[in-house]
Amino acid sequence: MIREMTLATGLALAGQSGLAACADLEGMCEIASGGYHIELPEDENPPLVVFLHGYGGTATGTLKNRGMVDPLLARGYAVMAPEGSERNGRQSWNFFPGWEGRDETAFLTEAVQDAADRFGVDTDRVVLGGFSAGAFMVYYLACAAPDTFSAYVPVSGGFWRPDPESCDGPIRMFHTHGWTDNVVPLEGRLLGGGRFHQGDIFAGLEIWRIANGCVDTKPSGFSTTGPFMRRYWSGCDEGSALEFALFPGGHSVPKGWADMMIDWYEGLPGG
């Protein structure tokens, strides 16, 4: 059930593609540093999932992924799709330390506050997710400013080499990745003729274990949710959480991710 029906949702229900809007307002929600689309659930003062598109993607494209968006709305979460900044002629995120461009942490913070002022979203319950380049952004923002959002849920992305020497913490993170992802492989890959190197996902998890003060590298437990094979680490600093889920697929946001992620988030203290 959706209280503020967006143009994107209305057209999707009619079997059409269409453009997203600013809740019940036409066009994108505009702020000083950029823009975003948002859809709202029936509930007042809802928690919020902010989800960042991949390289070359758009905010509108994020909300066309109804297999992700509709379950989040049904669980009572607002869904924000921010618009990336231009990089090399395509929309992406200024995630790598030292790159010039928009301050993405400031932009996303401003966007969430704007959504709180306009639509009453709960700024204490904001989850930052992203896919591919959007997940790279999630990793680097969580590393530099872990207190910005209440949890981080990247899909198919991590650090680039050289990995950060360390990250601030603690954080609460649920990382999801495809076993056969060949765009962002688990082991990383070279890009731009060797000028850039995507990092090893397991090396990134080691950085998060250290940031969270985990006493051991060994996972504390394992579980399965449908096709997802999950492992988690406990015995870490208070207020932290770290879980990793693999699925038997490639470079995508997999079916079932939204509900699995919300179950994890709501199972956290204060979630």
Q: How confident is the model at residue 15, as a pLDDT?
A: 33
Is the pLDDT at 106 greater than 50? The verdict is: yes
Q: What are 225's two structure tokens?
A: 């949710």
For residues 95 and 137, what is the distance between their CA atoms, to the nearest angstrom? 5
Whether pLDDT at 3 is above 50: no
CB 173 within 8 A of CB 142: yes
Chain centroid, CA 264 distance in Å: 14
Mention the CATH class of domain 7-266.
alpha beta
Is the pLDDT at 200 greater than 90, yes or no?
yes
Residue 128 pLDDT:
98
Contact 204, 138 (CB under 8 A): no
- Among residues 79, 131, 128, 78, the alpha carbon closest in space to that of 107 is found at 128
Please give the average per-residue pLDDT across 50-65, as a whole number: 96
Q: Which residue has the higher pLDDT, 251 or 12?
A: 251
Res. 196: pLDDT tops 50 = yes
Amino acid letter, residue 162: P
Q: Is the pLDDT of residue 18 over 70?
A: no
pLDDT value of position 19: 44
Q: How confident is the model at residue 23 (pLDDT cuts 50, 70, 90)?
A: confident
Q: CA-based Rg of the chain, rounded to a whole angstrom?
A: 18
At residue 156 the predicted structure's pLDDT band, cuts being 50, 70 and 90, is very high
- Residue 271 pLDDT class (50, 70, 90 cuts): low
What is the percent of the chain where pLDDT is above 90? 87
Reported pTM: 0.92
Burial (Cβ within 10 Å: 0-12, 13-18, ≥19) of residue 4: middle
Whole-Å CA distances, 229 to 156, 176, 202, 253, 254: 15, 10, 15, 15, 13
Report the pLDDT value the prediction gives residue 6, as an integer from 0 to 100. Answer: 38
DSSP annotation string for the chain: --SB--HHHHHHHTT------BTTBSSPEEETTEEEEEEB-SSSS--EEEEE--TT--HHHHHT-HHHHHHHHHTT-EEEEEPPEEETTEEE---STT--S--HHHHHHHHHHHHHHHH---TTSEEEEEETHHHHHHHHHHHH-TTSSSEEEEES--PEESPPS------EEEEEEETT-SSS-TT--EEGGGTEEEPPHHHHHHHHHHHTT-S-SS-SEEEEETTEEEEEE-S--TT-EEEEEEESS-SS--TTHHHHHHHHHHTSTT-
- What are the backbone dihedrals phi and psi of residue 80, each rounded to the nearest 5 degrees, phi first? -105, 135
Model confidence at 104, pLDDT cuts 50, 70, 90, reads very high
Closest among 136, 131, 130 to 99, alpha carbons compared = 136
The pLDDT of residue 25:
82
As a whole number, mean pLDDT of residues 246-257 equals: 98
> Does position 199 have pLDDT exceeding 80, yes or no?
yes
d(CA 13, CA 203): 42
pLDDT band (50, 70, 90) for residue 24? confident
Choose among 110, 111, 108: nearest CA to 141. 108
Mean pLDDT score across all residues of the chain? 92
User: Is the pLDDT confidence value at 13 over 80?
Assistant: no
Q: Provide the pLDDT for residue 20.
A: 64
Q: Which residues neighbour 91 within 8 Å (Cβ) at sequence distance 6 or greater? A: 53, 55, 56, 57, 58, 83, 84, 85
Answer whether residue 4 shows pLDDT above 50. Answer: no
